[in-house]
Amino acid sequence: DIHPAKYRDQFRRRVERGQCNHRPYLGCREFSAFFGPVISTDKPILHTENLGRMLLDLKYDGDSSGAGKPIFFDARLENGILTVPQEFYEEIGR
């Protein structure tokens, strides 16, 4: 029973209410990120800067050790937009 419109609408409702299962964060959970519906007047800041190494996620091998391998990437803010390269999502299996 896969209906993309159903899940899209559910996502939009949750964003409008500020609801989420896990608060998004930048690198460490201590640096939580604000999120909300897109407002047509919102514009990215015109700021470009290398931010350095940033933790993306922990990759777990599924063994009983419980140890995770940290996945870092070289973060860069490009005209106010932080983009994570697609290959990192492929590495963590998402």
| pLDDT per position as a tens digit, 9-66 | 999 999 999 888 888 887 678 888 888 888 888 787 899 999 999 988 888 877 777 7
Residues 47 and 93 in one domain: yes
Task: Report how far residue 75's alpha carbon sits from residue 49's, in angstroms, rounded to the nearest whole number.
Answer: 9
In one-letter notation, the amino acid at residue 36 is G
Q: How many C-beta neighbours within 10 Å does residue 56 have?
A: 19
Query: Do 52 and 90 share a structural domain?
Result: yes
pLDDT for res 32: 87
Q: What is the DSSP letter of 5?
A: H
Same domain, 36 and 47: no
pTM of the model: 0.54
For residue 35, what are the contacts with CB-CB under 8 A and spacing of at least 6? 15, 18, 20, 24
Say whether pLDDT at 78 is over 90: yes
59 vs 71: CA distance, rounded Å = 7
- Please check whether residues 33 and 79 belong to one and the same domain: no
